[in-house]
Amino acid sequence: MSTATTQKRGFGAVLWDYLTTVDHKKVGILYLIGGGFFFLLGGLEALIIRIQLITPENDFISAGLYNEMITMHGTTMIFLAATPLLFGLMNYVMPLQIGARDVAFPFLNSLGFWLFFSGGILLNLSWFTGAPDAGWTNYAPLSLQSPGHGVDFYVMGLQLSGAGTLMSGINFLVTIVTMRAPGMTYMRMPLFTWTTFVTSILTLFAFPALTVGLFLMMFDRMFGTAFFDVALGGNSVIWQHLFWIFGHPEVYILILPAFGIFSEIIPTFAKKRLFGYTAMVFATFMIAFLGFMVWAHHMFTVGLGPVANSIFAIATMAIAVPTGIKIFNWLLTLWGGSITINSAMLWTLAFIPSFTIGGMTGVMLGSAVADYQYHDTYFVVAHFHYVIVGGVVFAILAAMHYWWPKMFGRILHEGLGKLAFWTFFIGFHLTFFIQHFLGLMGMPRRYWVFLENQGLDTGNLISTIGAFFMTFGIIVFLINIVYTAMKGEKAPADPWDARTLEWSIASPPAHYNFKQMPLVRGLDPLWIEKSEGNGKITPAEPLDEIHMPNSSILPLIMTIGFFIASYGFIYQVDHKAWLIAVYGGMAIAIGSMLIRSLKDDHGHHITKEELEREAD
Amino acid sequence: MSQDHSLNPETMPQDPSKATMEGKHKHLGLWIFLGGETVLFACLFGTYLALRNSTAGGPSSQDLFGLELVFLMTILLLTSSLTSVYAIYHMKNNDFKKMQLWFGITALLGIAFLAFEIYEFAHYIHDYGFTFRSSAFGSAFYALVGFHGGHVAFGLGWLITLMVRNAKRGLSLYNAPKYNTFGLYWHFIDVVWVFIFTVVYLMGMVS
């Protein structure tokens, strides 16, 4: 099944192929499509927020709808856009970088995607009946008082997508530990693989806290328990703790893969080995470790007391050290390099100062005393958009340009790429830089309107204009995708003269990735072979038959079961007849688990003859 | 396919659960999964510790708990962990019948544990009116102990499915990893119970 025959099949066959696929590359592409779709939704919500705030006391949308808009923007961007886009890239690229033919649990991989996607769909279906409106942090008791089913959709939607993300994390960990190609020792792994590994550790230990928090919220809202209900002895701060024990590592789940992406792009386009590789790996672990120690810096104003606040403040500022190590290592990789500036590199170079600004405001916010002034103002909004847009979104767009040829066999158009970059980059700073000052002047976040003549008018206008620039940039990027799909330049296996294993195989790769397992002889294995004049990787084994997993529709059916059950849980509060949906959905889900367990699935083999028939 | 020679070799390797790539993946994957489960239960324990004195005028832990029942449950679950060790020991020696026997005993002990737990909950609800909704302490108690009970119930379903499915076809390199992962999971359930016994019941009796 070469790519040529794949393209000739009908739409139905392709659709069925994607619905049942367990191929990490196709699952990765599904993640990118799903995450991209939610990214556009979240962007639209952001634009509506900015239009509402373009003038003082605007009434473009109602106060209630505004609350729904900010809640859904935050929730969508974090859980349904940034995380899955990065998980899509990890899914596609990481196995190729370590010389593996798939992930350790291909079935689970597909299930993880469908759970994430159905969670996102469930959450967004709430728009038809009233979306969640208690902020993306969903603090109790506000979330308990929120009428209607909005918050219930939040709880069930995130529970589904969170379970999917956790599965992927476990999967990546096992894959990296057990499936590295011969010679691919830990300290020869590309930085993107390293950050995937560390991110997966964070996912593993952070997401269960969210799971518990969401369960408690679900029980309180749907079954009348008293976890956060002060009247019955409950404690609403528990939600804040559980949410941020998850929530703070989550921002490192987002930024570490971004760091990994830049650590791939910079050496490739500077034509230099990554400066301080060992320190980079160490810094990644430091950030991950400290990332678990700082959750209460989101809660400085709750009243935890001076001792707790001091400890968390110091731990927070300590993160600046490993992050600084990374920034300097990137700069020193660029130093004296033979630098090519293209779209991927532009996003990368723009990331360094933009993210550093976000990092510095982070240290400012980390000072517990000063935080009493900054807390819940636009200063915080400016800070986290500088790190998440300036870090994560820039990384995703850089990665798109960098790995697009590998994924789709065509190179994204450079001119359009640069246009998208410059408009988005200018728009980004227009939108968010001014928000630091709006916040310092006292503009609170999450407020529907602001008053005239309080020094906030011009700043908000500029910010909204910036948002339109960013929108334009994203539209250009979308046009670029369509243009490239139709007329884009065909990509060779190694269009960037790059260094890592994924560039040693065809673009896009065959579904078994590597015909023969590659032999890795050091860091940047492809570069080593090229500099020694071999040009391609030495195989580590003779050509032999390849064992591959079978496709399965069960992950999708299982997910549909959970989806129906979630809907039932939300509405059984109104009418007990909805319990039928709960039981029916669970029966479908558990039934498909049973089928999976009872029916043997040994996978299939690609014979030696088939492999020999396919040209390199 | 189940008679595939590569999965039913003439001489089974010493530890069939980890002889295949699939088995190694499952072994490591379950260990990692248990890392996540640890955080899950840690969060539930934290919530319980924060709320255990918030009885809202309802029954407190001293009013409710009786150590005799909990002692019996602890013995049952700890013993079931021991019997699962015997089962895995026989699996490693490729003695399918003895493995099934010991896993059968494990399942019976687990069922007995679960029955006592259901009795315990029913006792609290009927005799004390102590429910999931009566106080924050009630919510936290049933959430923590109930999550553990749910894990036991899921584990029993898993084990019984495995035993019935493979009853007639013996041990192979395909199903050995499945038994092995169940064994790991079951030990974890047991360890969590040790903490519940200490934190919930023993500490609940003294404070």
Domain boundaries, chain B: 18-206
Minimal CA separation from A519 to chain B, in Å = 19
CATH class in words for A3-552+601-613: mainly alpha
3-state secondary structure of A421: helix
Is the Cβ–Cβ distance between A566 and A586 less than 8 Å?
A: no
The Cα–Cα gap between A484 and A503 comes to 20
Structure tokens at B187: 């030990």
Amino acid at A443: M
- Does residue B1 sit at the A interface (CB-CB below 8 Å)? yes
Give residue A9's pLDDT: 77
Angle ∠(A133,A137,A142) on CA atoms, nearest 5: 55
Give residue A1's pLDDT: 41
The Cα–Cα gap between B121 and B83 comes to 26
Q: What is the largest CA-CA distance in chain B?
A: 67
Structure tokens at A564: 């129906």
Give residue B5's pLDDT: 61
Length of chain A: 616
Q: What is the mean pLDDT of residues A446-459?
A: 94
Handedness of CA A274, A275, A281, A284 (dihedral sign): negative
3-state secondary structure of A224: coil
Return the number of CB contacts < 8 Å for A and B: 121
Residues of A in Cβ contact (< 8 Å) with B129: none
Give residue A366's pLDDT: 95
3-state secondary structure of A546: strand
Give residue A530's pLDDT: 94
Length of chain B: 207
Give residue B1's pLDDT: 40
- Does residue A219 sit at the B interface (CB-CB below 8 Å)? yes
Burial (CB < 10 A; 0-12, 13-18, 19+), residue A224, is: middle
Q: Give residues with Cβ within 8 angstroms of B6, minimum separation 6.
A: B173
CB atoms < 10 A from the CB of A317, how many? 18
Is the Cβ–Cβ distance between B197 and B32 less than 8 Å?
A: no
Which residues in A460-482 are b (16+ Cβ under 10 Å) and which e?
Answer: bebbbebbbbbbbbbebbeebbe
Helix (H) or strand (E) run with residue A561 in it: helix A554-571
Q: What is the mean pLDDT of residues A159-188?
A: 96
pLDDT tier, A615 (very low <50, low <70, confident <90, very high otherwise): low
pLDDT tens digits along A26-39: 999 999 999 999 99
Nearest Cβ partner of B32 from A173, A208, A594? A173
- Does residue A232 sit at the B interface (CB-CB below 8 Å)? yes
The Cα–Cα gap between A436 and A458 comes to 13
DSSP type of residue A516: S
Structure tokens at A280: 């980079």
Helix (H) or strand (E) run with residue A604 in it: strand A604-606
Express as a percent the part of chain A with pLDDT over 90.
Answer: 94
Residues of A in Cβ contact (< 8 Å) with B188: none
Average pLDDT value for chain A: 95
Nearest Cβ partner of A238 from B1, B47, B165? B47
Q: Give residues with Cβ within 8 angstroms of A415, minimum separation 6.
A: none
Does residue A614 carry a pLDDT above 80? no
pLDDT tens digits along A317-334: 999 999 999 999 999 999
Give residue B60's pLDDT: 92
- Does residue B132 sit at the A interface (CB-CB below 8 Å)? yes
The Cα–Cα gap between B29 and B54 comes to 38
Closest Cα to residue A393, out of A414, A372, A369, A420?
Answer: A420
Does residue A470 carry a pLDDT above 90? yes
- Does residue B162 sit at the A interface (CB-CB below 8 Å)? yes
Express as a percent the part of chain A with pLDDT over 70.
Answer: 98
- Does residue B165 sit at the A interface (CB-CB below 8 Å)? yes
Q: What is the mean pLDDT of residues A384-396?
A: 97
pLDDT tens digits along B39-75: 999 999 999 999 999 999 999 999 999 999 999 999 9
Give residue B156's pLDDT: 97
pLDDT tier, B17 (very low <50, low <70, confident <90, very high otherwise): confident
Q: What is the largest CA-CA distance in chain A?
A: 78
Closest Cα to residue A375, out of A317, A311, A443?
Answer: A443
Pairing between β-strand A489-490 and β-strand A546-548 as defined by DSSP bridges: unpaired
The Cα–Cα gap between A331 and A333 comes to 5
Chain-centre distance for alpha carbon A54: 29
Concatenating the DSSP letter of every residue in A289-303 gives: HHHTS-GGGGGGGG-
Structure tokens at A135: 């902020």
Does residue A61 carry a pLDDT above 90? yes
Residues of B in Cβ contact (< 8 Å) with A594: 161
pTM as predicted: 0.95
Q: In terms of CATH architecture, what is B18-206?
A: Up-down Bundle (1.20)
